[in-house]
Amino acid sequence: MSNVDKMCLRLLVICFLPMIAAVPIAMAVSAFNDAFVRMGALPMSPDLPWLITLVAAAACVILFAVQAARIWRWKEGRSLSCPNCGCLLGGIREGRWGPHRKCLGCRNNHAERSL
């Protein structure tokens, strides 16, 4: 697996986090709602688990669009690249020796003042 493949994987795996979090939440809300119905109470909202999943899917699509735009800008050369491997650099982080950026491919730190 090349550094560019690792970079793309690191960027795009973030897109699935809302869905990974929403599915157990939707299942818990559905079970909670079913428990109330079995006790004879009125159901909260039968569409709530579906809406939670829908909102998570929309968040996944938005995150995918943002990350795809970052990759596109990097391929066009309008974004900072790592001097070692040429991959996209992450955001500025404050470190022990001043601000730096972490490469999303090789995971090396690069001082902000040297870019």
Coil, helix or strand at residue 5: helix
pTM equals 0.81
* Tokens of residue 113, six digits: 């003042």
**Per-residue pLDDT tens over the stretch 25-75:** 999 999 998 888 888 887 778 789 999 999 999 999 999 999 999 999 999
State CA 97 to chain mean position distance. 28
pLDDT tens readout for residues 77-90: 999 899 999 999 99
